[in-house]
Amino acid sequence: MAVLALFHHAGGSAAVFRRLIRLLPDHIRPVAAELPGRGRRWREPTLHTADDAVRDLTDLVVREVGPDEDLALFGHSMGAYLGLGVAAALERRGGPRCQVLFASANLAPQLASPLFADDTAPPSDEEVLDRAARFGALDAGLLRDPHIAARAAALLRADFDICDSFVRTMSWTVTESPVVVCRGQDDAFGDEHTDLWQWSSVQPLTTCTFPGGHLYLESAGAEPLAAKIESVVTEPAQSRT
């Protein structure tokens, strides 16, 4: 049995993986992780640094993975950076080791810059929501409700803090795990944005594209993505190194 730990995008939750999870074969056990402040953990205070988020997710993975199970990580957008942090943290900790990291829908961390400057006033809710809307990750209808919009902005603000913290302190993290870059054909990120994920691993890089945009895993890209995950996760470990 293999475990596939799934890390969501900024402002998101484990719900983004529902379609993908339904398509995975029985021998891959999905663990859809959620950061505090959403989903099953909505009562918990949100985190604001990459260090805290990586520690939180690493602890979850250690609790979930059995001694006889292989581990793969799939991180989408913000989750791709956190997946890299978790893979490296597991190597330092000596716990279950990540056999492969799927880095989905984000540019290479070495190319990233903070979303918001450190030395300016905090962005308004409108600025936060506008930044998220550029990736097509917001339901404009729901945001007409001011309470929902305020909640979404607060969650995104916390997650953007995590992203900016990662860029400032962890962007040169390197894992021993092979990295498979996954992206939608219509996403803003092309080869020039993702090829440098190679610098994040000591193993050769693989890149796969799927139908759809930034949230391709919720649309037409889900089926080929699930097939790719199955083919990689079920390969003998020595063939991936």
Position 90 scores a pLDDT of 97
Q: How many domains does the chain have?
A: 1
Position 136 scores a pLDDT of 67
- Measured CA to CA in angstroms, residue 224 lies from 55, 81, 187, 189 at distances of 31, 23, 16, 19
Position 238 scores a pLDDT of 47
> How far is the C-alpha of 19 from the C-alpha of 207, rounded, in Å?
22
Nearest Cα residue to 228 out of 72, 13, 15, 117:
72
Position 213 scores a pLDDT of 93
Position 192 scores a pLDDT of 95
| pTM reported for the whole predicted model | 0.93
Q: What is the pLDDT along the chain (241 residues), one digit of tens a residue?
A: 899 999 999 999 999 999 999 999 999 999 999 999 999 999 999 999 999 999 999 999 999 998 889 999 999 999 999 999 999 999 999 889 999 999 999 999 999 999 887 767 788 888 888 888 877 666 666 677 888 888 889 999 999 999 999 999 999 999 999 999 999 999 999 999 999 999 999 999 999 999 999 999 999 999 999 999 999 998 755 444 4
Position 241 scores a pLDDT of 47
Task: Retrieve residue 174's tokens.
Answer: 């390197």
Q: ∠ CA(39), CA(42), CA(48), 5° rounding?
A: 105
- 188 by Cβ neighbours in 10 Å (0-12 / 13-18 / 19+) ranks as middle
Domain CATH number, residue 34: 3.40.50.1820
Q: What are the φ and ψ backbone dihedral angles of 194, each rounded to 5 degrees?
A: -110, -20
Position 137 scores a pLDDT of 64
Task: Retrieve residue 29's tokens.
Answer: 């056990």
| Parent domain of 127 | 2-240
